[in-house]
Amino acid sequence: MTIKDFGARVTSVWEGLRPMTKKMLVGVLQEKSGSSPAVQAQKFSYDAHADWELSRLLAALDEQARDAEEKKDAEKLAEIKQIAEICATVLQAQTASAEVFIQLAERIILHNDFNALDRLADVLAERFSAGEIAEIIRQSDLAQIRAIAYETLTIMPVVFLLPLLDDTLYFEIARNALEQQAFEFDNEDAQQILEQIEFDEINGG
């Protein structure tokens, strides 16, 4: 079975992939090992464009897997899901993008796989910047995803949150995280920053 058997949208996205991205996916598929995809992916150059390509392919595969006609062909459906999981595994091992994190989290929540959600949450603290985590909170409507992102911000050093206070998009998000640090974890640095914010607001600073 070839990619062309998986529907027009999947075929279109696949044909738009760069050769290096196709080679990466083919190499991962050939490994046939549950733990090897992330290791295999490291052998290839990975950049923001690869991130975008794999995200688009994953979205197309997931959409195709939900198609009623595909569900009638168990073999084809299994192959579509296998490639989708490979894309998801590589993305989880590599991405630092808010949009991709939301995509991965939403599909995990859809399958009620809470262990997988915990593993994905660990990625935030390991790889994502405070700005990208704040963007996850800003973009996501799902309470579970927002809670994971807020939890990660509250364990970050206060100094990482300070730049967010200068951005109107993220000010309230950073302030909420600082309040949690200050009042739930008795973080004195966070308390001082909140006091300064209140002083500036009162005095029009």
Q: Where do the domains of the chain lie?
A: 1-94, 113-205
Higher pLDDT, 26 or 188: 188
Average pLDDT over residues 149-171: 97
Average pLDDT over residues 24-34: 75
pLDDT at residue number 69: 77
User: 86, 25 in Cβ contact below 8 A?
Assistant: yes
DSSP label at 154?
Answer: H
Non-local (6+) Cβ contacts of 63 within 8 A are 9
Alpha carbon 141 to its chain centroid, in Å, reads 14
> Would you place residue 1 in the very low, low, confident or very high pLDDT band (cuts 50, 70, 90)?
low
Mean residue pLDDT of the chain comes to 90
Tell me: the pLDDT tens digits for 88-139? 999 999 999 999 999 999 999 999 999 999 999 999 999 999 999 999 999 9
Taking residues 75-80, what's their average pLDDT?
90
Name the one residue in this structure whose structure tokens are 């569900």.
71
Count of Cβ atoms closer than 10 Å to residue 40 Cβ: 21
Signed CA dihedral, 16, 17, 20, 23: sign only: negative
At 73 the pLDDT is 84
Q: What is the pLDDT of residue 39?
A: 43
pLDDT at 198 over 50: yes
Q: Is the pLDDT of residue 33 over 60?
A: no
Q: Which sign, positive or negative, has the C-alpha torsion 171, 176, 177, 178?
A: positive
Q: What is residue 71's predicted lDDT score, i.e. its pLDDT? A: 78
